[in-house]
């Protein structure tokens, strides 16, 4: 449509643009709620086991787990006499500490170590494992033939 000799421009704005705008006014409150939740997890609550993180990126780290299994709880149950003399632990739980670092022994590389073909050895052992059943079956058949 032409108005006053010019082409009419289409309005790029939508009428209900407020419905499509996402605001983050709750970000500070959410941050505070997250911090308080993490603090509560660390300091209070039930006794938690130490577990290893799962993924490849974090598997060297230890963290507090979610709880013990029923089998673990049954294995740690005490006798009634021990329960009568037990006292409540006061204060925080023991922190998660990293274990002792393993010492590395330095060895001089010998010519025998250099000449060892580890890949060939692994492939050979894998092949031996794969053909083990067939070889045992063949040996058993040969024994039967010899007995006849």
Helix 118-130, helix 132-147: angle, nearest 10: 50
In angstroms, the CA 30 to CA 24 distance is: 10
Q: Which residue has the higher pLDDT, 23 or 3?
A: 23
Nearest to 93 by CA among 140, 26, 48, 29: 48
| CB of 65 closer than 8 Å to CB of 49 | yes
For the entire predicted model, the pTM comes to 0.32
Q: What is the pLDDT of residue 136?
A: 97
Q: What is the pLDDT of residue 35?
A: 93
């Amino acid at each position: 449509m032409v108005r006053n000799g010019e082409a009419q421009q289409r309005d790029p704005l939508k009428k209900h643009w407020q419905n499509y705008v996402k605001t983050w006014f709750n970000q500070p409150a959410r941050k505070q709620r997250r911090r308080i939740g993490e603090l509560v997890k660390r300091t209070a609550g039930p006794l938690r086991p130490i577990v290893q993180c799962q993924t490849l990126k974090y598997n060297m780290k230890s963290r507090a787990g979610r709880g013990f299994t029923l089998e673990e709880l049954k294995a740690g149950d005490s006798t009634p006499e021990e329960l009568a003399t037990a006292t409540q632990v006061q204060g925080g739980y023991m922190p998660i500490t990293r274990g002792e670092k393993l010492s590395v022994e330095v060895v001089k590389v010998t010519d025998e170590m250099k000449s060892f073909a580890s890949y060939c050895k692994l492939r050979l052992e894998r092949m031996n494992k794969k053909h083990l059943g067939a070889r045992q079956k063949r040996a058993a058949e040969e024994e039967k033939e010899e007995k006849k």
